[in-house]
Structure 1
Amino acid sequence: MTEAAPARPAPPPQRAFDPKIALTAVFGTTIEWYDFALYGTAAALVFNKVYFPDSDPLVGSILAYGTFAIGFLARPLGGAYFGERGDTRGRKGVMVATLLLMGLATTAIGLLPTYGQIGVAAPVLLTLLRFVQGFAAGGEKTGALIILFENAPPKWRGLATCLPAIGTGTGTLLSTGVFALCTSLLSEGELLSWGWRIPFLISAALTFFGLWVRRSLPETAEFRQTAGDADASPAPPVRLPLRRRLAASRFVTAWRRYPQEMLIVIGAGAAENAGYYIFGTFAVTYAEDRGLATTALLSGISLVAALKLVTVPAFGALSDRVGRRPVSIGGALVLLLAAWPFFEVVDGGRPWAVWLFLFITLGIGQSAILGSQPAFFAELFDTSVRFSAIGVANNIGTVLTGGLAPMLASALLLWFDHSVTGVVVFIALMSAVTVVTVALARETRHTESAPVERTPQPAR
């Protein structure tokens, strides 16, 4: 009797892309990144004065950026925590939880007393709230990326998965615009006394509206298929020791199954992370250190953030045509070549030149990487560990190459006697990391999304 052929895994479900899903994901990410980016601008202009007032101005900026970096140190923890829940319980619940947590932390910052009112407890509480922001951010952008990836037709994955980057850009636009409005309408004394709180308190209304929008977000078909397969023969509940629970977690499984892919995700975003926080955040401190008006920079950052609503999806669509690797490498090279001229034009103080180089660095260089890498990352992993893998690895990369960038750049500026040479070298190194990492990776544009787990390799 002829033996029956083994059953083949079910193919990935056919996708009919729903624009409402895209709008819901992007809108929620916009609100959450308004909160997260708001802190960076406040750290550059306010927190070094109201929470670290006894320090030298540049040293105060370094301390303020230290609390800024704490938010990034929390992101891998948030990626692991929310990734585990996203891979085991579903994507939708994570998207609601991260938005709520971020909104509560941001509103609390707006109500926080200053150093002059409660002393050292103020910067301690500020640091704690920034940690909560980072914890929430660790799951937000990854969740939005995955929901769009798992709902997009294969030929549109680059375009669809870069849409959360539009949300981060729009959130940055809103936060920078609100701060620019406050600085233009209020005196310095009014801004430092109470005006800086207004953008943070606006978060309460935005968060409430975002939760109302996200309530209708559906679960993805790929996750439902994977969860259905897992529920077919459920294992009896067993209370495992903590060490065994960690060993069985999805992010540990991802490291075990996909070690090379995890390292690729960590290194590939180095240029984009460093570039964004150097050109979009540290540059404000640099201009102040040079005695220049920050209005041109803030308005230029807002303008470029608006233009990125077009450039990011354009590069995402381009990656669907020519591949993820060439678009990403091209963006890193643009950041490398534009770094020194950028600071030269900031020193010159001509607004049109500053705006031009903000567009070159953030509107072209960073946008090319933002548009091409989300789909690249998602295509590296199967459905069962995708959330945890990207949430942990991408956030580790963000900590190492982005979250510490403003503080490191301020320290390099001090170390090199207020010369920008060290900062430019840092950007060059981060760009080189992206170029080498992506060049050594495989092209994923034609990779099939895999809802079925990869078979583990035998232990050696």
Structure 2
Amino acid sequence: MIRPRVALAAVLGTTVEWYDFALYGTAAALVFNKLYFPGSDPLVGTVLAYGTFAIGFLARPLGGAYFGERGDTKGRKNVLVATLLLMGVATTGIGLLPTYGQIGLAAPVLLTLLRFVQGFAAGGEKTGALIILFENSPPKWRGFLTSLPAIGTGTGTLLSTGAFALVTATLSEEDFLSWGWRVPFLLGAALTLFGLWIRRSIDETEEFKRAGVPAPTVRRPLRERLAQSRFMEAWRRYPRQMLIVICAGAGENAGFYVFGTFSVAYAQDRQLPTAALLTGISIAAAVKLITVPAFGALSDRIGRRPVSIGGALVLLAAAWPFFQLLDGGQTWAIWLALLITLGIGQSAILGSQPAFFAELFDTKVRFSAVGVANNIGTVLTGGLAPLLATALLLWFDHNVFGVVVFVALMSGLTAVTVALAPETRHVEPAPAAVPTNR
């Protein structure tokens, strides 16, 4: 069985990292559109703020490629420490960043740069936590154990949304916009130090040790290094599996960032109770601490495919009712909508797919393959979702029809992709020997 400190390091580290990463999404809707992109229509300012939000996702495939190569050649632990440190530095920098009114155009430029660094770090983080748990898990528990980093993402989201809910509830709007919004970001520095202390205590996985570490070679031209990288090797050997990973998470990605992030901007546009929505997102994140590993465990019993497809169908069916319940303005209805979409639909996909992705590749290229392909999918279907949803809301004259169609299409893509993919629950990937001279 997996050692408890390995699971603890993966979950707590991911919690800290996703607390930092998720803060930006809420701040984009509540703060950045006012302090860093002023002088325009509020919804247009939100589009600009979500543009910088999307920059973080565009950086994730680059981070996935860089840290994937390091993870496959230098070790899994090496990456987990580096990504957490980088994320903490970027988040603290955002908390200290002067506003547009103080330094002008440099403010949104620096904000965008720091968001890019956050995304670059996140590109290696979630994959690293998944891989280190996967390679330390017995086959019959891989679905459950590899879903645990999602507890970290849920806890991080819960903490970040809760932090903003607390400061918005206890401070006046003037104080919140003046200094209060910075407090959750600056707390990330202390959380980062704690996460680093936990992660430095874990050992490298035995599966990676058995595969062997390539001997160092003389520095080669960039083109040659790219051609011989683990990422390119994964594309050559596993093209179908790479496409599966890119497309399979579409429903989960779009659902999370539409229902859990864009919904805040939508509520503000419709003058709906934002406090109730933020509380509901926090409740849904708390519920996911139970439902995500439960669906991961279910995938160990009945397979990765049926659980993932079921979650996608829930998101597809719930897309239109979600906004109808939100428009009603009733607290109980808002919470119910979030529990169905995030607590059940998204959780089913999130719990069943980590092991599914890792089981598609061997040890030699696993980190690079999952890291790059999953992050490409996240960029295309998740990172751009709040920006696209806000643009669709404007395009359809504040009608949510376009957003619903977008979520339905992404959920359908997940269902079809997974239905056409092989079931991997009983597959035991054989570690591939790593050559000593690359």
Deviations, residues 135-188 of structure 1 (Å, cap 9, x unaligned)? 000000000000000000000000000000000000000000000000000111
Letter in 1 for 2:23: L
Are 2:223 and 1:238 aligned? Answer: no
Are 2:379 and 1:394 aligned? Answer: no
Would you say the 8 A contact 2:308–2:352 is kept in 1? yes
- Find the aligned partners of 2:97 and 2:161 in 1 and give their Cα distance: 20
Corresponding position of 2:20: 35
Corresponding position of 1:268: 248
1:403-414, aligned counterparts within 5 Å?
403-414=383-394
1:43-192, aligned counterparts within 5 Å?
43-192=28-177
Corresponding position of 1:13: none
Q: For structure 1, list consecutive stretches of 5 or more residues without a partner in the other structure.
A: 1-15, 456-460
- Find the aligned partners of 1:287 and 1:345 in 2 and give their Cα distance: 12
Are 2:400 and 1:415 aligned? Answer: no
- Find the aligned partners of 1:339 and 1:204 in 2 and give their Cα distance: 37
Would you say the 8 A contact 1:102–1:133 is kept in 2? yes
Are 2:360 and 1:375 aligned? Answer: no
Tell me whether 348-357 or 446-455 shows the greater mean CA deviation.
446-455
**What TM-score, normalized to structure 1?**
0.93
Letter in 2 for 1:297: L
Would you say the 8 A contact 1:279–1:362 is kept in 2? yes
The one of 418, 440, 443 aligned to 2:420: 440
Classify 1:453/1:381 alpha carbon distance in 2 versus 1 (closer, same or farther; 3 Å).
farther
Would you say the 8 A contact 1:83–1:391 is kept in 2? yes
Q: CA shift at 1:453, angstroms?
A: 5.3
- Find the aligned partners of 2:199 and 2:81 in 1 and give their Cα distance: 7
Larger Rg: 1
Letter in 2 for 1:302: S
Residue 363 of structure 2 aligns to a residue whose secondary structure is coil
1:199-210, aligned counterparts within 5 Å?
199-210=184-195
- Find the aligned partners of 1:256 and 1:452 in 2 and give their Cα distance: 15
Letter in 2 for 1:103: G
- Find the aligned partners of 2:87 and 2:280 in 1 and give their Cα distance: 27
- Find the aligned partners of 1:212 and 1:394 in 2 and give their Cα distance: 28
- Find the aligned partners of 1:454 and 1:84 in 2 and give their Cα distance: 13
Corresponding position of 1:331: 311
- Find the aligned partners of 2:434 and 2:120 in 1 and give their Cα distance: 29
Would you say the 8 A contact 1:29–1:144 is kept in 2? yes
User: Number of residues paired by the alignment?
Assistant: 435
Letter in 1 for 2:114: L
- Find the aligned partners of 1:276 and 1:407 in 2 and give their Cα distance: 13
Q: CA shift at 1:243, angstroms?
A: 0.5
Would you say the 8 A contact 2:364–2:434 is kept in 1? no
Would you say the 8 A contact 2:61–2:372 is kept in 1? yes
- Find the aligned partners of 2:284 and 2:239 in 1 and give their Cα distance: 36
Deviations, residues 395-447 of structure 1 (Å, cap 9, x unaligned)? 00000000000000000000000000000000011011101110110000000
Moved over 4 A (4+): none
Q: CA shift at 1:292, angstroms?
A: 1.1
Q: CA shift at 1:237, angstroms?
A: 2.5
- Find the aligned partners of 1:17 and 1:43 in 2 and give their Cα distance: 39
Q: CA shift at 1:238, angstroms?
A: 3.1
Residue 219 of structure 1 aligns to a residue whose secondary structure is coil
- Find the aligned partners of 1:71 and 1:239 in 2 and give their Cα distance: 30
Corresponding position of 2:227: 247
1:281-296, aligned counterparts within 5 Å?
281-296=261-276
Letter in 2 for 1:89: K
- Find the aligned partners of 1:210 and 1:237 in 2 and give their Cα distance: 33
Corresponding position of 2:330: 350
Letter in 1 for 2:37: F
Would you say the 8 A contact 1:95–1:144 is kept in 2? yes
- Find the aligned partners of 2:23 and 2:150 in 1 and give their Cα distance: 16
Would you say the 8 A contact 1:382–1:454 is kept in 2? no
Would you say the 8 A contact 1:149–1:160 is kept in 2? yes
Corresponding position of 2:4: 19
Would you say the 8 A contact 2:211–2:434 is kept in 1? no
Letter in 1 for 2:185: F
RMSD: 1.1
Q: CA shift at 1:261, angstroms?
A: 0.2
- Find the aligned partners of 1:238 and 1:290 in 2 and give their Cα distance: 60
Q: CA shift at 1:239, angstroms?
A: 2.9
Corresponding position of 1:7: none
- Find the aligned partners of 1:53 and 1:194 in 2 and give their Cα distance: 17
Letter in 1 for 2:35: V
Letter in 1 for 2:364: S
Letter in 1 for 2:17: E
Residue 282 of structure 2 aligns to a residue whose secondary structure is helix
Letter in 2 for 1:273: N
Q: CA shift at 1:241, angstroms?
A: 1.4
- Find the aligned partners of 1:309 and 1:454 in 2 and give their Cα distance: 37
- Find the aligned partners of 1:155 and 1:346 in 2 and give their Cα distance: 40
Letter in 2 for 1:206: L
Would you say the 8 A contact 2:134–2:145 is kept in 1? yes
- Find the aligned partners of 2:130 and 2:156 in 1 and give their Cα distance: 16
Would you say the 8 A contact 1:382–1:453 is kept in 2? no
Would you say the 8 A contact 1:141–1:164 is kept in 2? yes
- Find the aligned partners of 2:279 and 2:146 in 1 and give their Cα distance: 28
Would you say the 8 A contact 2:143–2:351 is kept in 1? yes
Letter in 2 for 1:271: G
Aligned residues: percent identity? Answer: 78
